Structure 1
């Protein structure tokens, strides 16, 4: 692929000037909002408060055409090995392809295999929900403890919270990811082992943090119910049947997923088992249908009608032209409170890269830092900085017309607060709009802070699926334009390797020559060993 900086289309984007005044632009162009809003499935996207004009949008769309983003998307959809550093296809769209559909990877239609796993998941979920599948003492399973890390935790934990209104009232899910003993301890507190099932998510069944927590969970079950209870109280999400069997889990309770599904894209796979148990197979199917709906939109919508493409181009504009370094995602929905954390992994692990496909260093900014909290909480925490801070932080607002709670008054308050924040960020407040006062300079807002607002009628399972897929595809389009691989995570792998090396050194630390380590690492490990001796 030709270097981005050598393209005339990229130079044209960089030569563009951001709008000097959103206030003036809205006052002079009555058609701006209608021109800069679009529908994608059940989502309505308003990007009119971004600091772009028609000329900038045209330049961005020309850039997308020059980078052949549509062709790249089709290559992914065709099952080609677009994860070029690992030599893998990228098949998360196969996970939500309907049973009668086709998704080829290496010439094989993987849809039947996907639905075979989904059907087995549904059988287990229905059995637990109905009480037909019970624990070793005959009691119903009331507590599902998901043990995983990264995408095996962030995805299902977020979806479980988001679909609160759909959950079985007698089943609660708990999510354990941190190897800190406090995480598992806190989640097991108050649970009855007889009523608890563990879902252990590890593709290779060798993930250090996950297996460390799973071993402790196994001891908890064995101590309470005996060794024979393990196969009644554990299921595995893995491809390593030997390791699963050695752990004590019956391989008939092992649910497969594949190396063409990255962890951060895996919630629609067996990784979503705990969610399916909580909300039921029918609701989970609705969730998958929503994702598939956005897959079709991303593949078929053209130019400025393509919502994920527009989001990607606006993000690139803000990073390249406005030189922004972070982006806030603020869902005005209590149930979506885990969504920003989910997007942190999706976007930053995908596009937090500095090397291009040819191995050369990226000479431009790629992914910003993604962060956020739900509104209206954020208004009383960080919104001050977004309005008057020295750094410009673009915002994605997400809201809904209706809430699962039947309280129209408070839901109206929630929605109007969201719209008011986007209005204040865009238009600010001038000194002329305030009475004469010594504090008037402190009460003025310059505005021109860009935001996009994404709204839907309600947070249904389908809408949640559409939101996730919207951001997945926007992330992909960004990666294509930046010429980086959005599907590997070598920075994560390095940390794992170093942690294993340091762990082995701790086993005989007293005999370790300090020259084997840098002075800082040696000092910190020495301090840790000394503290461990004191506590013992």
Structure 2
């Protein structure tokens, strides 16, 4: 099948993209969870698309989805399922998946108590700031959510992030904050991440300088290794929350790892985010291959990278709310995909998955878009538009 797809790619490369796109302009877009996705502007025609779908069927993409949502071992190197989807499930599940689903509830309840004032500072006052410390998957996801929905934030709560081991990152995050009214949240699945422990140690010292033994009452730790966290606390009690071992760090934004966002935006807003994600889960779980948005987009990546040998994909977010989406997806995809060996350790002939980069669409038009439009490389680009229709109409028309 790969050789057949290569033949299609060679044939279509001789045709202008404009001509191919015009021929497919009438194709109905994919629809999923409120999104409409046009895949018409690619080096594909009906024949090549049929072969690509056949390849997806032969590669058992639908079976892979069933295994994921069925709790099968899909992480063979660690012998575990990948149950991040259970965090988003609205109804009771069974077995380990239900344990995963339940794990986010204490964080949501804690957030509600912080916002209502039921849980207060060591001095009996309301918390007015949250400092989130994590890195990688424990940082990018919460940053994305907090930035995207900043207009829903509690007006009396500031939210800051620190990830870099460079001391200035934490210095900048703590600037202007009072330790007596700040909750420090540390997120590390292993509780062994060097950068996170460094920043957490400095933040704890900052709290202790003002609060002494009460500093632990201003600490919340999210981890899959509570014993390590307990040892780090040195006998003091702090708020602790579970990050399930079957949830990869890069998917942890749906878990208690986003405790800072639950406090900042409110548990109600965060539940809506979980419900929206569950709606997409249901689409991926039930839609047939030909109309399954996630599987079709995965096949496009395979087509452009492994068949057409285009090493990059550019994500252009024409929505200020989603300006951090390319950064988040870089970590999500490039920490996982594009390896030189398969899940059994066998060498895979490159190229596999693309390098992902991009940014805010309108801003990029005055930067690297010139290279994309006028440069010598053929680079697949993904345009995302998610306008707030109740905002200024002239700006929306310009988008």
Give the direction of change, closer, same or farther, for the CA distance of 1:116–1:230 in structure 2 (3 Å limit). farther
Q: Which residue of 2 aligns with 1:418?
A: none
The Cα shift of 1:168 comes to 1.2
- Counterpart check, 1:411 vs 2:396: yes
Q: Deviations over 1:126-174 (max 9, x none)?
A: 1111222221122221111111111000111111101112211111211
Report which stretch shifted further, 142-151 or 16-25. Answer: 16-25
Q: Mapping of 1:165-314 within 5 angstroms? A: 165-226=151-212, 228-248=213-233, 253-314=239-300
Matched, 1:33 2:19: no
User: Residue 244 of structure 1 contacts residue 251 of structure 1 at CA under 8 Å; is this kept in 2?
Assistant: no
Q: Distance in 1 between matches of 2:93 and 2:74?
A: 21
Gaps of 5+ in 2: none
Number of the residue aligned with 1:321 = 307
Q: Deviation of residue 250 (structure 1)?
A: 5.9
Q: CA deviation at 1:36?
A: 4.9
Verify: 1:21 aligned to 2:12, yes or no.
Answer: no
Deviation at 1:198, TM superposition (A): 0.6
8 Å Cα contact 1:331-1:397 kept in structure 2: yes
8 Å contact from structure 1 (residues 319, 368) kept in 2: yes
Matches of 2:271 and 2:327 in 1, distance apart? Answer: 24
Q: Map 1:120-519 onto structure 2 (within 5 A).
A: 120-226=106-212, 228-248=213-233, 253-402=239-388, 406-414=391-399
Mapped contact 2:71–2:97 kept (Cα < 8 A): no
Asked if structure 2 preserves the Cα contact closer than 8 Å seen for 1:88 and 1:260, the reply is yes
Cα deviation, 1:360-383, whole Å, max 9, x if unaligned, reads: 211131111111110210000000
Q: Any gaps of 5 or more consecutive residues in structure 1? A: 1-8, 103-107, 415-536
Deviation at 1:189, TM superposition (A): 0.6
Shift of 1:357: 3.0
Q: Decide whether the 8 Å contact of 2:216 with 2:238 is kept in 1.
A: no
For the pair 1:110 / 2:102, whether they are aligned, the reply is no
Q: Distance in 2 between matches of 1:21 and 1:374?
A: 27
Distance 1:241 1:288 in 2: 25
Distance 2:96 2:210 in 1: 45
Residues 292 and 362 of structure 1: is their aligned pair in 2 closer, same or farther, counting only changes over 3 Å?
Answer: same
The whole-number CA distance in structure 1 between the counterparts of 2:343 and 2:116 is 50
Q: Is the 8 A contact 2:20 2:42 kept in 1?
A: no
Deviations 1:267-315 (A, max 9, x none): 1011111111111111111111111111111111112211111111111
Residue in structure 2 matching 1:44, options 33, 36, 59: 36
Cα drift, residue 409 of structure 1 = 1.3
Pairwise CA RMSD of aligned residues?
A: 1.7
Retained in 2: the 8 A contact 1:126–1:280? yes
Aligned-pair distance for 1:353? 0.2
Distance 2:366 2:325 in 1: 19
2:105 paired residue number: 119
Classify 1:305/1:178 alpha carbon distance in 2 versus 1 (closer, same or farther; 3 Å).
Answer: same
Give how far 1:119 is off. Answer: 2.4
User: Does the CA-based 8 Å contact 1:244-1:250 persist in structure 2?
Assistant: no
Shift of 1:251: 5.5
Tell me the alpha carbon deviations over residues 396-451 of structure 1, each in whole angstroms, 9 at most, x when there is no partner: 111124256x312112212xxxxxxxxxxxxxxxxxxxxxxxxxxxxxxxxxxxxx
245-254 or 351-360, which moves further after superposition?
245-254
The question of whether the paired residues in 2 share the 8 Å contact of 1:18 and 1:321 is answered with no
Partners of 1:329 and 1:371 within 8 A in 2: yes
**How far 1:330 sits from its partner (Å)?**
0.8
**Distance (Å, rounded) in 2 between the aligned partners of 1:158 and 1:180:** 21
Structure index of larger Rg: 1
What is the aligned counterpart of 1:87 among 61, 79, 82? Answer: 79
TM normalised by structure 2 equals 0.94
Aligned partners of 2:193 and 2:387: how far apart in 1?
42
Q: In the aligned structure 1, how far is the partner of 2:251 from the partner of 2:283? A: 18
Displacement of 1:223 in angstroms is: 0.7
Partner SS, residue 130 of structure 2: strand
Q: Secondary structure of the residue that 2:85 maps to in structure 1? A: helix
- For residues 338 and 63 of structure 1, the distance between their equivalents in structure 2, rounded to whole angstroms, comes to 33
Distance 1:261 1:118 in 2: 12
Indicate conservation of the 8 Å contact 2:21/2:42, yes or no: no
Structure 1 runs (4+) deviating above 4 angstroms are 249-252
Secondary structure of 2:253's aligned partner: coil
1:259 Cα deviation from its structure 2 partner: 1.6
What TM-score do the two structures reach when normalised by structure 1? Answer: 0.71
* CA distance in 2 between partners of 1:239 and 1:356 (Å): 27
Partner of 1:471: none
